[in-house]
Amino acid sequence: MNITINTPTVKNITMQKTAMSSLRKTSIFAGILYLITFISIPTVALYGSIHQPGYITGTGSDTPTIFGGLLEIIVALAGISTSVVLYPILRKQHQAAALGLVAARILEAGTIFVGVAFLLSIVTLHQAQAGANALAASSALVALYDRIFLLGQSFMPAICDLLLGYMLYKSRLVPKGLAIIGMLGALPLIAGYIAIMFGVIERNSPMAGLSAVLVALFEFSLGIWLIVKGFNSTTKTYNTPNKIIQFGRD
């Protein structure tokens, strides 16, 4: 009589614990990166002086603009890192969408880098004491920054959150409600971006700010959730092999 028992071996149990430990570390790292993307909020105040028409001819300090540029660069790198860190997990849910998220984050970061380059070019003109001769160039660079800011930090984040929210919803890696906020929040942000493009609302108007509330809420809440709770433990993100052991006698 033969008895067949389908049970995980000690080695497989160890592999499970190692996989879960690795998953937890990934969630904490990703959560921290998402929170880092909020450090550029002070640039709203830091870039105040460079938006003034007389900045290029004045004697004001360049430090706030330079510091703001550094913050934006950190945000751009953190944004790329979030998609790269999450890719090994998300690709098991939907590889094309996971690749799309990485590509979208890279494009988003690229626009941020270009925007910072525009502002630092104004700083260079200011430091070179270009004076009134550079007024037109300075105004053009500020306008270019404002436009590319809308593309890189309004439109692209909406696309990223649509992709991420969809994958999180399908995989149940986080609560469904949180994933839904990500998907739904992208819609008013896209609508706000289009409204600004067509001059329906101003870039700094309350309506423009309100259009970004849900996306900000999603990304901040996701960062906190990943740090505190991690991914849902009931989600299958890896396969655990079983070993068949036979007991009996001939």
User: Quick one: how far is CA 84 from the chain centroid?
Assistant: 11
Coil, strand or helix at 245: strand
Burial string for 229-248 (b: 16+ CB within 10 Å, else e) reads ebbeeeeebeeeeeeeeeee
Phi, psi for 91 (deg, rounded to 5): -65, -20
Domain coordinates in residue numbering, the chain: 24-49+62-235
Task: Report the 3 state secondary structure along 5-52.
Answer: EEECCHHHHHHHHHHHHHHHHHHHHHHHHHHHCCCCCCHHHHCCHHHC
Mean pLDDT across the stretch 104-128? 97
Q: What is the pLDDT of residues 219-237, one digit of tens each?
A: 999 999 999 999 986 544 4
Q: Average pLDDT over the chain, rounded to whole?
A: 88
Please give the Cα distance from 191 to 198 (Å, whole number).
11
Phi, psi for 245 (deg, rounded to 5): -110, 130
- This prediction's pTM: 0.84
Q: What is the pLDDT of residues 67-92, one digit of tens each?
A: 999 999 999 999 999 999 999 999 99
Report the amino acid identity of residue 240. T
Burial string for 56-72 (b: 16+ CB within 10 Å, else e) reads beeeeebebbeebbebb
Mean pLDDT across the stretch 98-119? 98
